[in-house]
Amino acid sequence: MKTPYKNIYNVLKLNRFIVLAVVICALLSSIFSVWMVFTTNKNAMNSAFAINTDGSIIPLKLVSQKENFRVEALAHLELFHTYFYNIDASNYEKNLKKALWLGNSSVDNLYRQKKADGVYNRLLQFSLVQKVLSIDSKINDNNGVYSFTATTIFEINRGTIIDTYELVSTGNLIMVDRNFPNNPHGLLITNYFENTLKKLSDENRKE
């Protein structure tokens, strides 16, 4: 007895169903894989892991990147302005060398200009003491471009006379590799500029 042939249309329908099912399964699998990668990456960005003394893994929640950047930036600016402006005849070379690690060529150019103008020679000649009293920095974020405005109050002790000044400086901040102890915050000051410098009277200081 001959085996009856199957209806060709039924065979094609079955094949189409199988192909369609395989395509749908592959699509669902791909979507699930992408979702898993996204979820894993998101969790990794918000967490860090440390190894305990017994070998166990301890998850550590990281603070917001923006909050962390702002703290680092304020500390970096305070460090720079302290090194660059808190100087006297005994420490100015050491402090300025440290300050130059925290900025790019714009800081170096300002240093060279001051040196050419005889600022540091007068420091040595008259044994001047320039002391920073306060540093107030403001950070601005413009779509990932960070700029700052810093107000530095410092005094110059000339022995019998002490004058107080207010310096307003501006610039930008970019992220670089940390270099401890030269650049512990991993930031670099660019486009640094001394905008205004004015002498404060006793009335200004009280305010």
Measured from the Cβ of residue 64, the count of other Cβ atoms closer than 10 Å reads 9
Angle at 18 between CA 16 and CA 24, to 5 degrees: 100
Cα separations (Å) of 89 from 43, 96, 124, 128?
Answer: 52, 12, 5, 7
Smallest CA-to-CA distance from 170 within 200, 141, 138 is with 138
The ranges of the chain with pLDDT < 70 are 1-7, 9, 11, 41-66, 202-207
| Residue 167 phi, psi dihedral angles, 5° rounding | -115, 130
Q: What is the pLDDT of residue 63?
A: 47
pLDDT over 70 percentage in the chain:
80
- The reported pTM is 0.68
- Residue-level pLDDT at 39: 75
